[in-house]
Amino acid sequence: MARLGENRYGKSRVRLSRITRHGDHHEFNEWTVQVLLQGDFETCFTKADNSKILPTDTMKNTVYYVARESKAASIEEFAKELGDYLLSNNPQVAKVSVEVAEKSWERMTVDGSSEPTTFRLRGPELQTVAAAREKDGAWSVISGVDGLTILKTTKSAFTGYIKDKLTTLKPATDRIFGTCATVTWDYASTAPDYAGVRARIIAALLREFAAHHSMSAQHTLFDMGKAALDAAPEIASITLTMPNLHHLLADLSPFGQENPNHIFVPIDEPHGSIEATVER
């Protein structure tokens, strides 16, 4: 006999752009939103009864409706507004999960002056949030950044590792260290300044990566996480996933050339994969 297990449904990849007009400048945001609902939906699966289904197209429209009314200054605040609206207007929904990814648009600087209404995309990274709440519960919010692509050309080494009969890797005392990091953090504070916390964490991560004398990706990951905890007492822990995107020294000896750490071959497959959570 079959029975229905855990289930949820919703709308994914709802895209929207928002202009907030101030007197002398504009703010611009570009978001991709996912909404997932859990609740009293068993009969729609088992009895072909659609009477409790909120159409996913309606969810899409709800994203735009709430965004139009929203005063949220951060994706975290917007995710909670959207989730609260869906819970309060749908008694059959027991839990809502909202994920938002924001592109990193920033105001353009031209001839040393900030352009009030012109923007450029800063980089490939996305600001992220995953927020969830049960109908009578508190919000769980996990913020982050995805695709934080950074590289340093020195202050990175890798020596002293295990060597067995299959080891071909040569020790390196001055190598390129590149990564495309995914970072998430959760909060110890119930009502933090999300935008301020995010800015401090990212600044701390970048500052530590640049200054750090790395003996391995693991070594740098931990110290970056520690720096983020120090910069943001509002968070409880931070998780970093840092693929080691290799740049291999090109062999120019067949051409009669030396290669004193000058020409490299960048590869992203296969790559090392390092991840860890740093906690207080």
Residue 19 lies in a domain: yes
Task: For the chain, give the mean pLDDT.
Answer: 96
Cα atoms in the Cβ-side hemisphere of radius 13 Å centred on 60: 9
**Domain boundary residue, one of 106, 138, 170:** 138
Whether 3 maps to a domain, the answer reads no
Shortest CA distance to 82 belongs to which of 28, 27, 146, 139?
139
Measure the CA angle with vertex 118, ends 113 and 123; round to 5°.
95
Q: Are residues 165 and 246 in the same domain?
A: yes
E strand or H helix that includes residue 148: strand 140-152
pLDDT > 90 in the chain, percent: 96
129 and 202 co-located in one domain? no
Whole-number CA gyration radius for the chain: 23
pLDDT for res 248: 92
153, 134: one domain: no
In a domain, 143, yes or no: no
- Do residues 253 and 155 share a domain? yes
The answer to whether residues 167 and 266 belong to one domain is yes
- Residue 168 in domain: yes
Identity at 8, one-letter amino acid code: R
Instruction: Return the active site residues.
Output: 11, 56, 246
The amino acid present at 36, given as its one-letter code, is: L
Same domain, 23 and 130: yes
Q: What is the pLDDT of residue 189?
A: 87
* Domain assignment of residue 245, yes or no: yes
* 50 and 104 part of one domain: yes
166 and 266 in a common domain? yes
What is the helix (H) or strand (E) element at residue 203, kind and residue range? helix 194-211
Please report which confidence band the pLDDT of residue 123 belongs to, taking 50, 70 and 90 as the band edges.
confident
Single out the residue in 138, 157, 179 at which a domain terminates. Answer: 138
Q: What are phi and psi for residue 162, nearest 5 degrees?
A: -65, 135
Split into its structural domains, the chain has a count of: 2
Is the domain of 96 the same as that of 54?
yes
Cis preceding linkage at 270, omega within 30: yes
User: What's the confidence (pLDDT) of residue 268?
Assistant: 85
d(CA 141, CA 153): 35
Domain boundary among 138, 172, 207: 138
pLDDT at 48 over 90: yes
* pLDDT at residue 215, rounded to an integer: 97
Dihedral of alpha carbons 164, 167, 170, 172, sign: negative
Supply the pLDDT for residue 191: 87
4 occurs within a structural domain: no
Half-sphere exposure of 233 (CA within 13 A, CB side): 0
Average pLDDT, stretch 20-40? 95
Query: Are residues 28 and 133 located together in one domain of the fold?
Result: yes
The CATH number of residue 75's host domain is 3.10.270.10
Q: Phi/psi of residue 185, each to 5°?
A: -145, 150
* 78 found inside a domain: yes
Structure confidence by residue, pLDDT tens digits, 177-220: 999 999 999 999 888 999 999 999 999 999 999 999 999 999 99
Give me the domain span that covers residue 165.
148-279
Residue 228 within any structural domain of the chain: yes
Do 69 and 31 have their domain in common? Answer: yes
Band of pLDDT at residue 26, cut at 50, 70 and 90: very high
| Same domain membership, residue 183 and residue 67 | no
Q: Give the pLDDT mean for 240-262.
A: 95
